[in-house]
Amino acid sequence: MKKLIAFLLIVLSVFLLAKTTLTVVEVFTSPERDAILKNIIEQFEEQNPGVKINLISPPYETAYQKIYTMISNKQPVDIVEVGDWSLSTLAAMGGLENLEPYIANWDGAKYMLPNLLEFARIYKGKAYLIPNAVYAKTLFIRKDVLKKYGIERAPKTVFELYGMASYLTDPRRGQYGYDFRGKGYPTDFIDLFVTSFFDDIDPNNMYLTKDGKLIWSDPRAKYGLELYVKIFKDTAPKDAVNWGFSEQINSFVSGIAPLLYQDPDTLGILKSNLPDNLFETDPLPVGPYGKAYPHYGFSGWGIVSYSKHKDLAWKFIEFFNSPKVLSYWCKNYGVLPPDKRVYENDPYFKSDKYKGWIEMFNDPEHYQFTKQPIWSEAWGKWTELQERTMQEVLLGKKSVDQVLREWSEFWEKAGLK
């Protein structure tokens, strides 16, 4: 009898130890973010006793290359973090599972932000990831600094933005208006100013008008880019030509430049650097036609095409994208939730911190969320070219007309018509 009991205990222990392991590789690694992610993983494991998640967290600088190598060599991995700029590369490698069959039976699809799933279908019209973090530019303002100069509201148009920033600027006092981004991929900032001078941008490609013409050869692009240059020359510190993200945030926190275009991850940094009552977000200023063309940046989870546990991997993604988990994730990580229910259910996302995005999401007449052509193989070279040539304009080495011709020629050669 004792032998039988011992045998049964051994069998039971083997059964309890036999777990299915899901291997997950993340990209945007940091100690703070990892702690949030591990908490979510623990919750999933508690709800699924037979499952163990092995989280791989390579350094951010080498994470994408790590994923490319693992998938190329078909190393054991089930879920990978995918960013909008890496999506086409991974899908073209055959490394990602087409998630459309799962989406067809997923209740959460109907609650995604307007057109977000369409943005995720940038590779051959199919979704190979489910976004769990959304990035979109909005206007941050330092309410206290503006009030000090008698300004009670945020600028509504790009012309008001320029006027307000000019009024605030006094280099003798170390006070400036607009928080300019000169380096570190300023593409989004340039594009927002230029496209705001159009009323017919193609919603599927912000570098084309609805009749299929490149915006860079349109006279309206010149007006937009000229305003962008004037804002730098008249309202920003001269060394802002070299500013990246960190310099932007520092100048906003210090009050040196109280008008800032930025993404929601800025909120996570401001949380520990600036009291809530000193700043708010507002919709992006619109152009002469009453339009602005923000775009979604996003990241999310994709299932590896050769995974042996695809259904279980989907179960994790579905769990991660439930409103309760997304609320926890986005609130602590500092990104926009991709699910409309989170904004409705959690008072945190109804505060002034999120006002800018919420108003834009609810105003499609003035804010058309539009795709950048990140699916193009030329995209990486484009961001380098645009930054370099824009620097030359800001430093007076090239004219606006010259760089617009270069930009048009670049995309004509890339076949973006």
Are 17-135+296-361 and 138-293+376-413 in the same CATH fold? yes
**Other Cβ atoms closer than 10 A to 160:** 14
What is the maximal distance between C-alpha atoms in the chain?
92
* pLDDT tens per residue across span 121-138: 988 899 999 999 999 999
Q: What percent of the chain has pLDDT over 90?
A: 76
- Is pTM beyond 0.85? Reply is no
382, 361 contact by CB (below 8 A): no
Element (H, E) at 333: helix 323-333
Q: Where are the beta strands (DSSP E) in 274-393?
A: 279-282, 297-303
| Residue carrying the six token digits 């940094």 | 269
| Residue carrying the six token digits 């087409």 | 98
* pLDDT surpassing 60 at residue 9: no
HSE-CB of 184 using CA atoms within 13 angstroms: 11
- 126, with CB counted inside 10 A (0-12, 13-18, 19+), is middle
- The DSSP annotation for 14-82 comes to HHHH--EEEEEE-SS--HHHHHHHHHHHHHHHHH-TTEEEEEE---HHHHHHHHHHHHHTT-S-SEEEE
- Identify the pLDDT of residue 13: 45
Alpha-carbon Rg for the chain, nearest whole angstrom, is 24
In angstroms, the CA 372 to CA 129 distance is 18
CATH topology of domain 138-293+376-413: D-Maltodextrin-Binding Protein; domain 2 (3.40.190)
**Please, which pLDDT band fits residue 82 given cuts at 50, 70 and 90?**
very high
Q: Give the angle subtended at the CA of 195 by the CAs of 192 and 198, to the nearest 5°.
A: 150
Q: Which two structure tokens, joined as six digits, stand for 254?
A: 């210090």
- 42, with CB counted inside 10 A (0-12, 13-18, 19+), is exposed
* pLDDT surpassing 90 at residue 11: no
- Identify the pLDDT of residue 5: 56
The CATH architecture to which 17-135+296-361 belongs is 3-Layer(aba) Sandwich (3.40)
User: Any idea where the domains of the chain sit in the sequence?
Assistant: 17-135+296-361, 138-293+376-413
**Please, which pLDDT band fits residue 89 given cuts at 50, 70 and 90?**
confident
* pLDDT tens per residue across span 166-204: 999 999 999 999 999 999 889 999 999 999 999 999 999
Report the range of poorest mean pLDDT among 84-88, 112-116, 310-314, 400-404. Answer: 84-88
